Amino acid sequence: MPTHHSCAGKPKPLTAALTATLLAVALPALANPDPAEWQGVVAEAEGQTVYWNAWGGDTRTNRYIDWVAQQMQAQYGIEVEHVKLDDTGSAVARVLAEKQAGNHDDGSIDLIWINGENFAAMRESDLLFGPFAEALPNFALTNAADNPEVVTDFTLPTEGFESPWGKAQITFYYDSAQTESPPQNMPALLTWARANPGQFSYPRIPDFTGSTFLKQALIELTEQDEALYQPVSESDFDAVTEPLWKYLDALHPHLWRSGRTFPDSGPNLRTLMSDGELSLAFSFYPTDAAVAVMEYELPDSVRSYVLEAGTLGNVHFVAIPYNSPHKAGAMVLADFLLSPEAQAEKQSLAMWGDRSVLDIDQLDAADQARFQQGERHPSELPADALSNTLPEPHPSWMTALQDAWLERYGVN
């Protein structure tokens, strides 16, 4: 094709901006690392600092992340900075603000501990890098074909945009020296609370443990539970949730401090139990009570159990924001979190006690041995107790329930 020159017969010099644009098109120097080229990812990751935004509200999760950081430095030359969050939604908002400001390459977050409504919000706004998760070398150890929960987040397919790293399920615990027969369902809990005023509570919304309690109660109390697995906009929210609000109106006067105020978090519930202010509590981590007994935070008489019809559970994940400048380091970290070494350390009662997402029966003998923890602690659940896991509702229900709860009970 002919070249068009200016009327002076001499090409005009390119502006600096146009030159930069042409170079960016010709030389994609900032191309994202390809997880399929794993050795290249590992090589690129060495020397990077990964800013991992993760909930920082519990000493056990924090000490595990500290251990992970030590291993990443020793094994891969990657520095991990734990950016401690009170609310994961604040990190989601930060990535969205960066996108709106045009910061597409140098974001402040490299990895985020996430699931549920926060994952849904980031996917909806196209804030995540991926797909990457299923290309991680250790992902195959989850045996996703037989364990679909590792690729499903609150009914939504993850499509490779987040990598699983732990399992949670509501588990109740009580002081057997004070309570012989703890309540086995939500109506029984109300009866128990009336007979034991001030001895139970749940965390203030929007704390995720408290919000999960609302969903647990709603699943059990509503006659329209199938609606919970579709977007909330497709249902009559008031009709579906009416039994929940009636229940909470009856329950609150019998809670700790007569329901006029609520504990801040799941760990705060544990502290109140330790102080003797509560004799029945719950956690989203099934081994929480056993670890607390081992660490002399709770008395030896504490025992764990799940409700007779099952309890709500989910998988928690890590994801990489689309504008992370250290995607290679973030992927290597996500892969390490799926290693038998890291999963066994996380599940250890001496570290955190968070359940593994790996299909342990499919591991080789040496890796299976990592998960052998000896005799079950008396305060720990039996191995088969968590077989009845209730699936999480659609993420839109979480937000709607939180908003409705705050409107009804949030001023105190």
pLDDT digits 0-9 by tens, 27-80: 334 579 999 999 999 999 999 999 999 999 889 999 999 999 999 999 999 999
Degrees (nearest 5) of the Cα angle 226, 385, 245?
40
CB atoms closer than 10 angstroms to residue 127 = 22
Where residue 246 sits, what CATH number does that domain have? 3.40.190.10
Q: Is residue 109 part of a domain?
A: yes
- Domain limits for position 45: 38-166+316-370
Same domain, 222 and 299: yes
Residue type, 138: N
Under the banding of pLDDT at 50, 70 and 90, the label for residue 377 is confident
Same domain, 228 and 127: no
Q: Smallest Cα–Cα separation from 324: which of 135, 104, 147?
A: 104
Same domain, 186 and 264: yes
Instruction: Give me the pLDDT at residue 116, please.
Output: 92
Same domain, 266 and 231: yes
Under the banding of pLDDT at 50, 70 and 90, the label for residue 20 is very low
Degrees (nearest 5) of the Cα angle 8, 10, 15?
110
Which is more confidently placed, 58 or 230? 230
Same domain, 132 and 119: yes
Give the separation between CA 197 and CA 252, rounded to whole angstroms: 10
Counting every residue, how long is the chain? 412
Under the banding of pLDDT at 50, 70 and 90, the label for residue 411 is low
Under the banding of pLDDT at 50, 70 and 90, the label for residue 373 is confident
Same domain, 88 and 150: yes
Would you call 327 exposed, middle or buried from its count of C-beta atoms within 10 A (0-12, 13-18, 19+)? buried
Residues 6+ apart with CB under 8 A from 183: 189, 191, 192, 280
Which is more confidently placed, 411 or 136? 136
The whole-chain average pLDDT of the chain stands at 90
Same domain, 287 and 323: no
Mean local confidence (pLDDT), 269-288: 93
Buried b / exposed e over 20-33, threshold 16 CB at 10 Å, is eeeeeeeeeeeeeb
Same domain, 84 and 125: yes
Instruction: Give me the pLDDT at residue 78, please.
Output: 98
pLDDT in tens, 85-113: 988 999 999 999 999 999 999 999 999 99
CB atoms closer than 10 angstroms to residue 55 = 19
Instruction: Give me the pLDDT at residue 203, please.
Output: 96
Q: Does the pLDDT of residue 321 top 70, yes or no? A: yes
Give the separation between CA 115 and CA 317, rounded to whole angstroms: 6
- pTM for the model stands at 0.86
Instruction: Give me the pLDDT at residue 375, please.
Output: 78
Question: Cβ(289)–Cβ(302) under 8 Å?
Answer: yes
Under the banding of pLDDT at 50, 70 and 90, the label for residue 9 is very low
Could you tell me what percent of the chain has a pLDDT over 90? 83
Q: What is the DSSP string of 37-54?
A: SHHHHHHHHTT-EEEEEE
Residues 6+ apart with CB under 8 A from 235: 224, 227
Longest dimension (CA), the chain: 97
Sign of CA dihedral 282, 288, 290, 294: negative
Same domain, 278 and 137: no
Buried b / exposed e over 218-243, threshold 16 CB at 10 Å, is bbbbbeeeebbeeebeebebeebbeb
Q: Is residue 9 part of a domain?
A: no
Per DSSP, helices labelled H in 295-384 are: 327-337, 340-347, 365-370
Tell me the Cα Rg of the chain.
24
Same domain, 266 and 334: no
Mean local confidence (pLDDT), 10-29: 39
Count: domains in the chain: 2
Same domain, 178 and 297: yes
Q: Is residue 93 part of a domain?
A: yes
Per-residue tokens: 322: 């689309």
Instruction: Give me the pLDDT at residue 10, please.
Output: 35
Q: Does the pLDDT of residue 297 top 90, yes or no? A: yes
What distances in angstroms separate CA 367 from CA 265, 344, 363, 372, one per listed residue?
34, 9, 6, 10
Q: Is residue 28 part of a domain?
A: no
Q: Is residue 31 part of a domain?
A: no
> Kind of pairing, strands 389-390 and 311-319?
parallel
Give the separation between CA 234 and CA 318, rounded to whole angstroms: 29
Instruction: Give me the pLDDT at residue 225, please.
Output: 87
Question: Helix, strand, or coil here: 205?
Answer: coil
Specify the residue for token string 């074909």.
145
What distances in angstroms separate CA 230 from CA 34, 153, 234, 340, 396, one per listed residue?
34, 13, 7, 35, 9
